[in-house]
Amino acid sequence: MSIETELKFTVTDSILFDKIASLNEIAGYRTIDRGRQKIIDNCFDTPDYRLFKGKIVFRLRVLKNKSVLTFKADKDSTGSYYQRIEIESKTDATVKDICKGNLPNLPPVKAFREKVGDVSLIPTLKTENSRHTILLTYKNTPHYELVLDDVTFTGPRGTAAVKELEVESLFDTDNDLETIGAWLTKRFDLKVAGPSKYILGMELVGKV
C-alpha cells in the first residue's frame, strides 16, 4: 500500500502543455522529460454506483506491456493537495473476468472487498489518456513527477475530453508540493481539479 500525494489542475489551453514541457527548471527543480505513453483505464462500479458515491476507484489499467489492477480510496488530506490510499498489482485479468466476478487473489481486490464487500461489478467508464511525464529532480534525484494528461472519457452518455496537469510526490515528504503548485499557477492559467478522474468522467459521460 502507498499513499498517493498530489496536486491536480485543469488545463484549458493545450498550448500550455507545450510551454510547460519546454521548461528546463520548475520551482528550483531541474526537469527530465520521460516522454509520452498511452494509458487505457477500464473503471468498474456496483450497479448502484457505490464506488462513485464513496469516492473509491477500482480499475484495470492497460499499458503497452502490462495490465495493472488498482484500488484507490480517499485519505484525510492536509494543505492544498490530495492524498489517497493506492494499492496496485500486475494482473492477467481482463474486463470480462472482472465482470464475471473472476477476480484474482491480489492486494487491490482484498482492499476492495474489505471496503465494499463481495459485490458484483459492472464496467462504467473507459478512459484513454495520452500522458507526457516529466520528472522534477534535485541533485540528479527525482523528487516529484509532473504529468500532462490529454484524456478522453467514454461512457453511456458519449465522450468528453479534458486536459489535466498533476504533480505527485515520489517520496514520503511533500514539503515543496504547494511551492511547486504556487510556482505553476503564478505563471500559467491553471484551475484546481478534483482528486479523481473517475468521478469527473462519470459526471461528464456516466449514468449518475
Residue range 139-159, pLDDT digits in tens: 999 999 999 999 999 999 999
Grade residue 106 by pLDDT with cuts at 50, 70 and 90. Answer: very high
- Judge whether residue 81 has pLDDT over 90: no
Mean pLDDT of the chain: 94
Domain ranges of the chain: 2-205
Grade residue 99 by pLDDT with cuts at 50, 70 and 90. Answer: very high
- What cell does 73 get? 480510496
Beta-carbon-side half-sphere exposure of residue 199 (alpha carbons within 13 Å): 14
Whole-number pLDDT of residue 2: 84
Q: What is the pLDDT of residues 22-65, one digit of tens each?
A: 999 999 999 999 999 999 999 999 999 999 999 999 999 999 99
- Judge whether residue 78 has pLDDT over 60: no
Please check whether residue 76 is in contact with residue 111, taking contact to mean a CB–CB distance below 8 angstroms.
no
Whole-number pLDDT of residue 172: 67
Report, in angstroms and rounded to the nearest whole number, the Rg of the chain calculated over CA atoms. Answer: 17
- Judge whether residue 3 has pLDDT over 90: no
Distance, in Å, from the CA atom of 112 to the CA atom of 120, rounded to the nearest integer, reads 12
Whole-number pLDDT of residue 208: 81
Grade residue 177 by pLDDT with cuts at 50, 70 and 90. Answer: very high
Please check whether residue 44 is in contact with residue 51, taking contact to mean a CB–CB distance below 8 angstroms.
yes
Grade residue 124 by pLDDT with cuts at 50, 70 and 90. Answer: very high
Q: Which residue has the cell 516522454?
A: 35
Parallel, antiparallel, or unpaired: how do β-strands 190-192 and 2-11 relate?
antiparallel
- Judge whether residue 1 has pLDDT over 80: no
Which of 67-76, 79-88, 102-111, 191-200 is predicted least confidently?
A: 79-88
- Judge whether residue 79 has pLDDT over 90: no
Distance, in Å, from the CA atom of 143 to the CA atom of 173, rounded to the nearest integer, reads 9
Whole-number pLDDT of residue 108: 97
- What cell does 44 get? 468498474
Query: Three-state SS for 115?
Result: helix
Whole-model pTM? Answer: 0.93
Distance, in Å, from the CA atom of 196 to the CA atom of 208, rounded to the nearest integer, reads 15
Q: Which of 199, 200, 182 is nearest to 80 (CA)?
A: 182
Distance, in Å, from the CA atom of 6 to the CA atom of 34, rounded to the nearest integer, reads 19
Distance, in Å, from the CA atom of 156 to the CA atom of 123, rounded to the nearest integer, reads 10
Given the candidates 3.20.20.70, 3.30.70.100, 2.40.320.10, 3.30.70.20, the CATH classification of the domain at 2-205 is 2.40.320.10
Other CB atoms within 10 Å distance of the CB of residue 114: 9
Between the CA of residue 72 and those of 57, 108, 119, 161, what are the distances in Å?
A: 5, 8, 17, 23
Please check whether residue 72 is in contact with residue 113, taking contact to mean a CB–CB distance below 8 angstroms.
no
